[in-house]
Amino acid sequence: MSSKGLQSFSSGLFLATAILGGIYYFAHEPEQVVSQPVSNIDLTPAEMKQELEEVGYIVFSEEEWVQEQERSSQKESDSAESDSEVNEQIIYTMNLIISSGMTSNEVANQLVRGQIIEDRAVFLDYVHANQLTQSLQVGEYQLRSDMTIEDILDQLT
């Protein structure tokens, strides 16, 4: 697009915006707000509570509110304890297939992916400390996450 065409296009946009803005500003009539008179009624606390309950609100006194908060915090702590108990009971199992030429690093990576061990470095340190790097046997093994590293390596060697 040439510069002359771009100038014409932008001036057309400006002119259209100016016309529409002027029409909106001058032709727009403000809405008239009709306010209804509010009656000042003095209600007792019991009457206020009754009115709110009729509309669907739940009204607590300060003591009731404190008791309700204590109950809810106790329920949350109980559910957190039961959740932690459930998490402790999960046992993962996997079938590990060790093929010819697999290194102890590859075996450790497989065990971490299968959630049998949490830290591959601990596993590898144990393998190297006990000189088991060449002792891993080719085969298929069923392992569980509740097994110790020693138990796992007893099966694999």
Q: Cβ atoms within 10 A of the Cβ of 69, count?
A: 11
For residue range 124-150, list pLDDT tens digits in order: 898 888 888 888 888 888 888 888 888
Backbone angles phi, psi at 101, to 5 degrees: 95, -5
Q: Among 3.30.230.10, 3.40.50.620, 3.55.40.20, 3.30.1490.480, name the CATH number for the domain at 93-156.
A: 3.30.1490.480
* CA-based radius of gyration for the chain: 38
Whether 137 and 156 have beta carbons less than 8 Å apart is answered as yes
What is the pLDDT, as a whole number, of residue 19?
Answer: 94
CA 114 from centre of chain: 23
What is the pLDDT, as a whole number, of residue 17?
Answer: 96
CA 154 from centre of chain: 39
Helices (H), 28-130: 45-55, 62-88, 104-113, 120-129
At 94 the three-state DSSP class reads: strand
For residue range 11-59, list pLDDT tens digits in order: 999 999 999 998 888 886 766 766 666 667 788 888 888 888 899 888 8
At 27, list the tokens. 């032709």
